[in-house]
Amino acid sequence: MSNNWWRGGVIYQIYPRSFVDSNGDGVGDLPGIIQQLPYVAKLGVDAVWISPFFKSPMKDFGYDVADYRAVDPLFGQLEDFRQLVSQAHQLGLKVMIDQVLSHTSDQHNWFQHSRQSRDNAHADWYVWANAQADGSPPNNWLSVFGGSAWQWDTRRHQYYLHNFLASQPDLNFHHPAVRQAILEEVRFWLELGVDGIRFDACNYHFHDQQLRNNPPAQQRDHASVTADNPYSYQAHRYDKSQPENLLFLRELRALLDEYGAIALGEIGDDDSLTRMAEYTADHNKLHMAYSFNLLTPEFSAQHIRQQVEALEAQLGDGWACWTTGNHDAIRVLTRWGNNTQHPRFVRLVLALLLSLRGSACLYQGEELALPEAELEFEQLQDPYGIAMWPEFKGRDGCRTPMPWQQQAPGAGFSSANPWLPIASDHLARAVDVQEADPHSCLAFYRQFIHWRRQQAALLDGSIRFSDAPASVLAFVRDNSLLCVFNLSNTRCRYPLAAKAQALHGHGLDGASLDNDTLILDAWGGWFARLDPA
């Protein structure tokens, strides 16, 4: 617990394909990230989390790793990453990378060897199983991306497990050699000086060795998959979140502790809150658990309070990392705000997110109040969206390139045709436009994040919710700091139960006092120090 920057820290997620293209091929890269690290540092965040940049056939855009130790030439070279770490550290930024350990690409040498026969050195490194008597898959497990989680392989005359794309075979973590090899892959990056690792799909490492069928879901999980996805029809009792994973997470934590690095785990589960508490308990597994629970379409004071209170009730000494946006979710301005033009909405979301107990991840472009980009089917790159169209349009709409300069070719992202089109309505929100406006969303982000850093109660204090009108979310941090937010576009009143002194300097407006009643305008928020008496 000696390296506590992460506790209450703010992490900025960079999706490298869409951040900055330095070499004119239409795809962002590591040198491009280096160019804009001063921009990130100026936000006041503690760390950058960089989505996968490892060697990959890019069937799932880097989340299908073909070589854990190699930078894909699309993104640069290993020396570029070394320089990135050095530059980030000079700017006071920690560096986190994304490690996808539960599965590899089918182009990984381990899998290429494994599929050749049933008796080679890597034969059992992946999850293989015989067909049933009628030739059908071994059980009823489903892929997150649709259809069966089993793919027939004609070389071995067996099925292999893939919880995601068929080109992403699952490793067999029950095999000791697999666990040891994976730990060594992680150590490689720790030796290069990374300060933390975000572990993708970290509850998928182990499967039930008896391959028992999943039962039907009593309550469908729509936090980690959409309502149109049959994956939510099952209770995922046997294909993930197995008890053996707790032992592996302890091994992983021990390795990270050697280097003073931290672990952030992505957890998509039928009962993700319970799993988050379990995976961060006792200071010997994950440092933080990454939550999907605020990435859903539901936006209400009741929903947010319910999620936080349910987690707090079982979290103990664990720790959460909340987010309202990432590379897999519709942008928050569209998902929660219905693309409102009210300038206060996105500011309210940031202030609320950074006032909850826990750490927070911010996704690139949120500081510009970017809406979800609208793409035609022919423009899609995401295999998930292509398969689920039109009810689910995929993840490309939140992955379009960052607009750096309103008038520049390619919006300053690239001198070439970008891998995804730049949304026309993003141009007016470009970085250079907002840099010139002291009242812009970008200016607010910088102000609020720096202000929050001075509020100890918001970094590590307790949280206690108060009853309030339906549209109002009110809670007290560390028994001393009152946070009140109006989650609606209409004015409302909130009677204060105790004397409070308004705090200033955070930049969030839309609130005023009428004697002992707080008047909250649309999307208004208020911070106050409670009278100790």
Residues recognised as catalytic: 200, 258
* Residue spans of alpha helices (H) in 149-220: 176-191
3-state SS string over 23-79? CCCCCCCHHHHHHCHHHHHHHCCCEEEECCCEECCCCCCCCCCCEEEEECCCCCCHH
Q: Is the dihedral of CA 211, 212, 213, 216 positive or negative?
A: negative
Asked if residue 370 lies in contact with residue 349, where contact means CB atoms within 8 angstroms, the answer is no
Distance of alpha carbon 179 from alpha carbon 108, whole angstroms: 16
- Secondary structure of 121-169 as H, E, C letters: CCCCCECEECCCCCCCCCCCCECCCCCECEEEECCCCEEEECCCCCCCC
Dump strand ranges (E) for 303-458. Answer: 320-323, 359-363
Contact call for residues 50 and 445 (beta carbons, < 8 A): no
201: nearest Cα among 275, 267, 112, 103? 267
Cα separation, 45 vs 42, in Å, equals 8
How far apart, in whole angstroms, are the C-alpha atoms of residue 155 and residue 119?
Answer: 12
Report the C-alpha gap between 364 and 18 in whole angstroms.
9
How far does Cα 430 stand from its chain's mean position? 23
Put the strands of the sheet holding 492-495 in their side by side order: 492-495, 517-520, 511-514
Give Cα separations from 256 to 193, 196, 198, 230, 432 (angstroms).
11, 8, 12, 37, 39
As a whole number of angstroms, the distance between CA 451 and CA 509 comes to 14
* Gyration radius of the chain's alpha carbons: 23
Coil/strand/helix, residue 100: strand
SS (H, E, C) 461-486: CCEEEECCCCCEEEEEECCCEEEEEE
**Is residue 513 classed as helix, strand or coil in its secondary structure?**
strand
d(CA 490, CA 471): 9
Q: Which helix (H) or strand (E) holds 300?
A: none
Q: By the 8 A CB rule, do 448 and 360 touch? A: no
* End-to-end C-alpha distance for the chain, whole angstroms: 34
User: Prior bond to 137 cis, omega within 30?
Assistant: no
Q: Give the list of residues 6+ apart from residue 432 with CB closer than 8 angstroms, or none.
A: 404, 405, 406, 412
